[in-house]
Amino acid sequence: MQDNSFAIYQVKEGPDYHMLRFASLDELDRDGMRLRRDVHQALEAAEGTLFPDRAAAVQFLRDEGFQVVAGNQPQMITVRNMARQEANVYLTQGDGCCYLEGCDTRGIDHSVKMENYDLVYAAALSPKDEGDQRSILESLFVRFNQDRPEDFHGHSLSVSDVIVLKQRGQVTSYYTDSIGFRRLPDFLPTENALRNAEMAMEDDLNMIDGIINNGSKDEKALQAPPAPEHPPRPRHRNAPER
């Protein structure tokens, strides 16, 4: 896909939408610390307890206040908090019973996940979007608050939104934070990230050509060749431990 492109991702709707919609990264970090703490406290409370089966262990974790994520791994129970952060609790079975023996909380460190987001817009950067990446991000912030494109159907750009830029062959993702923008190294794989964005937004898969939503193949055949193109700071709102 061509350089000088961007994509905007916004949090998916859901029962816990409000926990992520205006959450700063500091708030998500605190939620993750709490989840780590609560998981370790639950393991301490369960120490020496023999559960008759997996269902009993699951119920114990629910009673401790965790959401339990459905899964098919018999020796692992995944728990989640309201910020959609997850940790894995390990289950050992034998002699007709089971017990909780440990956990893996590393996934909490990647709390801003693409699976929690919808791609809502993708386009080429305009000539107005000049300067370094911070300047471009602030320009996009102003545009998608004060002069939104007619084909943009998301909400005004604000805290928790993710902006992906592709420039000089490099893809970078940024979190719209309570003050400014924070880099997200693991939000999208760098290779083909904005090509995937184009595939999601393009209305004709024959037109996957580096230009977002540039009409159908049949429409272009009827048109004359186009002339060649020459190519105030975020204001946001301000709820994790090993």
18 vs 95, which has greater pLDDT? 18
Q: What is the pLDDT of residues 69-111, one digit of tens each?
A: 988 788 899 999 988 899 999 998 877 789 998 999 998 888 8
Instruction: Say if residue 238's pLDDT is above 80.
Output: no
Predicted local distance difference test score (pLDDT) of residue 71? 81
Q: In this predicted structure, what is the pLDDT of residue 72?
A: 79
Segment 174-199 shows an average pLDDT of: 76
Q: Where are the domains of the chain?
A: 5-14+113-222, 21-109
Regarding pTM above 0.75, the answer is no
Cβ atoms within 10 A of the Cβ of 65, count?
10
Q: What is the mean pLDDT of residues 165-173?
A: 90
Q: Please say if the pLDDT value at position 43 is more than 80.
A: yes
Nearby residues of 106 by Cβ (< 8 Å), 6 or more positions away: none
N- to C-terminal Cα distance for the chain? 41
pLDDT of 28 over the 90 cut: yes
Cβ atoms of 61 and 77 closer than 8 Å: yes
Q: Would the pLDDT of 179 be above 80?
A: yes
- Percentage of the chain modeled with pLDDT above 70: 77
By mean pLDDT, which of 49-53, 93-97, 214-218 is the weakest? Answer: 214-218
> How far, in Å, CA of 49 to CA of 52, rounded?
10
